[in-house]
Structure 1
Amino acid sequence: MIHHIVFQFMAILSGILLVLLLGAGIVLFLFSGHLLLVSVVLISTFLLFLFIGYFVIRNFAKPLDESVRMIKQFTAGNFSTRTYIDKPKSTGQLNRHLNELGESLQKTVKLSQIQQDQLETLIENIDSSLLLIDMDGHLRLANQTFQDMFHIKKGDWFHKNYQYVLHDEEVRNTIHESIVNETIVRQSVILPLGIERRYIDIYCAPIKHGSSHAKGIVVVLRDITELKKLEKVRKEFVANVSHELKTPVTSLKGFAETLLDEEMKDENIRKKFMTIILRESERLEALIYDLLELSKIESDTFQLNWQEVDLSKIVDETLELLQEEAKEKSIDIQSGAKGHTVIEGDPFRLKQMFINVITNAIVYSPEKGFIHVHVEGFPRTVEFIVKDNGIGISLDEIPRIFERFYRVDKARGRNSGGTGLGLAIVKHLTEAHNGRIDVRSEIGKGTTFKIIFPRSQE
């Protein structure tokens, strides 16, 4: 481009010079009368001018071309390019400033990239869900914690309206209030996520610059379930334990006092009372054992005995232990295995889990019912599935069945000798194995428990 301008400029100068030389030639010819000599002198002068002019202007054009090239690189986002500083003062000063500009821009871009990386790392690694919503209600940003919490992929939320992404009405209403009023709104809600109910603290704040209208809102969803659980456990633990201990202790005391009565002579009644005392003692022992087990599992020092375990073999051993219990209710238990069912786990704890889940199925199944126990191996996971045709669990109760002392059918649970801690133990041991639980149930038709174990542990 610069060379093109230079050639145009030289053409104009050459034209002007040619006219001047022709005029000078005519004057010299009139005074000297030697046409050939005058012509040679004029042509030589013209050619010398062109030669000198070309090299002089070329020295200015080349650095200018470099400057243009450098500006084009800046426009394309390449701020690392540099040019040489030549001798002419004007072009050298221009190139010097361009080099300084490139260095400054490169530092600015690098600093901006570092700050962007830091911000992205912060957003992706905070333990709360973070959303950025524009004033039209479209999701512009959602961190990984949000996607993990709600089991949503990026394609399911990106640039979509929050009304279609977030299904809980309380959450939608809280966000709507913040958008409409352009004010900070805070609300606590209970969300059913999978098999659990999660306590979520919602904080919505408008994005404003000065007194202008909001450009969007930031939504922070903080999971405070563990804090709520701790608070609830502290409040209810003494009451629950006292309630569970009340029946066996009362029975033990009452029957012991009766047996101590000197007028009690009937041996059959004495034997019956002694049997009841034994049964209540066993129930009390089971409750204490489960409380100690749960306390041990929840402690920071709890460790699993990791080794390769075949889940199908653990199931067979478990069913042998529970065979008599199932026969008492004429329950038909069928089992099966498919694929490779070996995982890394603790065999003792796995058997403890399976006993609790299958025992629950026996307790809550009707006489002459059926239970199907199945283990199936997949490339990265192995699934343990227990399906029964028992009383079923309502949708509202499913998130609560893993709470301590919670029973779907309280009378049947106590009469069976259950402590109400079995599924709480199962949940904690599943988490210790880095697995997850899925529960599907329908009232009057039965329940399906599925525990999904990773094949190997990191």
Structure 2
Amino acid sequence: SIMPKHLRKKTDAKIAIRDHRQMVKALRVSEKKFRSFFEHVIGGAFQSTPDGKLLLVNDSFVRLLGYRSKADLMSKNAVDLYADPQDRVKWNSQLISKGRLQNAELILKRKDGQIITVLENARTLHDEKGNVLYYEGTLTDITERKQIDLAKTEFVFLASHQLRTPLSAINWYTEVLLNDSQGTTNTKQTDYLEKIYASNQRMINLINDFLNVSQIELGIIIIKPQTVDLVEKSRSALEELKSQFSAKEIEIREKYQGQPRIQSDPKIITVILQNLLSNAFKYTPPKGQISITITKQKTGVAILIKDSGYGIPHDQHHQVFTKFFRADNIKERSVAGTGLGLYIVKSMLTRIGGKIKFKSAEKRGTAFYIHLPFRIA
């Protein structure tokens, strides 16, 4: 270049200063946009460090937790905002290991001591070395929604209890008439009675499902451990479905190894087996096969219930244990069901320390693998 060296240095310096000013200006605009978004985001927004120091909160976050000002709230550690401080440890660990929380249900404590339920969505931000710098996320107050859900659950529980008594009476009287040894009912009347009995039985099963779900959600399931013979429970559950299996010409295969006895709640074990076997029956076409295998292992008892049924589409596997889930290929076939059975099974297994997993493919059937501990922890 023909430009003198001292002038070239001045020009370079001016360019550097101009670039620096433009960069500072861009950063200020970016920060202004971020703060505007942060303040106007729906729900409470925050930034905090892994050890609980609050770096930034918006006005909604302050109002949500009932504090006078941002400074008032930010003088607290995040652990102080939890109803149970151990929850902070649990969610903190999950955030660090997974990098994010999605719709996590937190129980927090407002400044006035009121307990609220919120949904948290959060993520971790890292430096260039991969170390966690801070968390950022949002909180949505769902306290009122939870209270409404609780009221609905309590209503369903009470209504189901009230309906159970008259339905049981109808069931008993119908059985008496069907078992009439005097022959006072003709063929047509017997046919009507059988239809009444079958319809009433479906209603009783539905009511039992509602009661089980209500008890799960209200947290009022009482566990009464005693010795449970799993082979006996399996045979009893199969006996109840025997006539239905025969009508569809379904082949039943049983395999029991060792003496599979555990200390658990017999009523819960019955509900689990009835639901799984009933599902296998409903979703297996005529002349199919259903097998149950019970094996004693070192840490507990394994149960395998397998069918040659319609199977579950792969893209719906993640929904299997959710309330009211029914696979699309089942809806098309108009198979009766509430979609509550597997939700009940998973919830009750969790309650007694059991585990469940499954394998399934369309037109190739489904296999459920259950593990039950020898004793409830």
Following the alignment from structure 2 to structure 1, what is the Cα–Cα distance between the partners of residues 137 and 360? 29
- Are 1:379 and 2:286 matched, yes or no? no
Q: Would the aligned equivalents of 1:298 and 1:428 in 2 still touch at CA under 8 Å?
A: no
Q: Would the aligned equivalents of 1:363 and 1:412 in 2 still touch at CA under 8 Å?
A: no
Partner of 1:410: 331
Matches within 5 A, 1:316-355: 316-355=235-274
Going from structure 1 to structure 2, the CA distance change for 1:189 and 1:332 (only over 3 Å counts) comes to: same
What secondary structure sits across from 2:309 in the alignment? coil
Going from structure 1 to structure 2, the CA distance change for 1:307 and 1:220 (only over 3 Å counts) comes to: farther
The Cα shift of 1:396 comes to 2.7
Q: Which runs of 5+ in 2 are unaligned?
A: 1-84, 105-118, 157-185
How many residue pairs are counted as aligned between the two chains? Answer: 246
The Cα shift of 1:234 comes to 7.9
Post-superposition Cα deviations, 1:156-177, rounded to whole Å, max 9, x if no partner, equal: xxxxxxxxxx7xxxx6xxx8xx
State the identity as a percent: 25
- Are 1:126 and 2:126 matched, yes or no? no
Select 2:122's aligned residue among 184, 193, 202: 202
Following the alignment from structure 1 to structure 2, what is the Cα–Cα distance between the partners of residues 323 and 126? 50
Matches within 5 A, 1:14-413: 126-130=89-93, 146=97, 188=102, 201-206=121-126, 216-218=132-134, 279-408=198-327, 409-410=330-331, 412=333
Higher helix share: 1
Going from structure 1 to structure 2, the CA distance change for 1:123 and 1:303 (only over 3 Å counts) comes to: closer
What secondary structure sits across from 2:367 in the alignment? strand
Going from structure 1 to structure 2, the CA distance change for 1:365 and 1:200 (only over 3 Å counts) comes to: farther
Going from structure 1 to structure 2, the CA distance change for 1:291 and 1:216 (only over 3 Å counts) comes to: closer
Partner of 1:115: none
Q: Would the aligned equivalents of 1:383 and 1:450 in 2 still touch at CA under 8 Å?
A: yes
> Structure 1 stretch 281-290 or stretch 213-222: which is displaced more?
213-222
What secondary structure sits across from 2:281 in the alignment? helix
The Cα shift of 1:129 comes to 4.7
The Cα shift of 1:275 comes to 6.8
Following the alignment from structure 1 to structure 2, what is the Cα–Cα distance between the partners of residues 283 and 321? 14
> Structure 1 stretch 336-345 or stretch 363-372: which is displaced more?
336-345
The Cα shift of 1:280 comes to 4.3
- Are 1:443 and 2:323 matched, yes or no? no
Higher strand share: 2
TM-score after normalising by structure 1: 0.45
Q: Would the aligned equivalents of 2:282 and 2:335 in 1 still touch at CA under 8 Å?
A: no
Going from structure 1 to structure 2, the CA distance change for 1:236 and 1:441 (only over 3 Å counts) comes to: farther
Q: Would the aligned equivalents of 1:340 and 1:378 in 2 still touch at CA under 8 Å?
A: no
Partner of 1:421: 340
Going from structure 1 to structure 2, the CA distance change for 1:232 and 1:299 (only over 3 Å counts) comes to: closer
The Cα shift of 1:431 comes to 1.3
Q: Would the aligned equivalents of 2:308 and 2:366 in 1 still touch at CA under 8 Å?
A: yes
Going from structure 1 to structure 2, the CA distance change for 1:452 and 1:200 (only over 3 Å counts) comes to: farther
Q: Would the aligned equivalents of 2:150 and 2:218 in 1 still touch at CA under 8 Å?
A: no
Going from structure 1 to structure 2, the CA distance change for 1:394 and 1:342 (only over 3 Å counts) comes to: same
What secondary structure sits across from 2:93 in the alignment? strand
- Which amino acid in 2 is paired with 1:452? H
Select 1:431's aligned residue among 347, 350, 373: 350
Q: Would the aligned equivalents of 1:206 and 1:214 in 2 still touch at CA under 8 Å?
A: yes
Q: Would the aligned equivalents of 1:384 and 1:452 in 2 still touch at CA under 8 Å?
A: yes
Following the alignment from structure 1 to structure 2, what is the Cα–Cα distance between the partners of residues 200 and 382? 38
Q: Would the aligned equivalents of 1:207 and 1:218 in 2 still touch at CA under 8 Å?
A: no
Q: Would the aligned equivalents of 1:398 and 1:439 in 2 still touch at CA under 8 Å?
A: no
- Which amino acid in 2 is paired with 1:410? K
Q: Would the aligned equivalents of 1:343 and 1:455 in 2 still touch at CA under 8 Å?
A: yes
Q: Would the aligned equivalents of 1:375 and 1:385 in 2 still touch at CA under 8 Å?
A: yes
Partner of 2:60: none
Following the alignment from structure 1 to structure 2, what is the Cα–Cα distance between the partners of residues 407 and 397? 9
The Cα shift of 1:127 comes to 1.6
Q: Would the aligned equivalents of 2:289 and 2:308 in 1 still touch at CA under 8 Å?
A: yes
The Cα shift of 1:414 comes to 4.6
Going from structure 1 to structure 2, the CA distance change for 1:231 and 1:357 (only over 3 Å counts) comes to: farther
Post-superposition Cα deviations, 1:266-310, rounded to whole Å, max 9, x if no partner, equal: x99999888766654443343223212321243333212201212
Going from structure 1 to structure 2, the CA distance change for 1:410 and 1:230 (only over 3 Å counts) comes to: farther
Q: Would the aligned equivalents of 1:206 and 1:217 in 2 still touch at CA under 8 Å?
A: yes
The Cα shift of 1:384 comes to 1.1
What secondary structure sits across from 1:302 in the alignment? coil
Following the alignment from structure 2 to structure 1, what is the Cα–Cα distance between the partners of residues 351 and 282? 26
The Cα shift of 1:202 comes to 3.3
What secondary structure sits across from 1:429 in the alignment? helix
TM-score after normalising by structure 2: 0.53
The Cα shift of 1:125 comes to 7.4
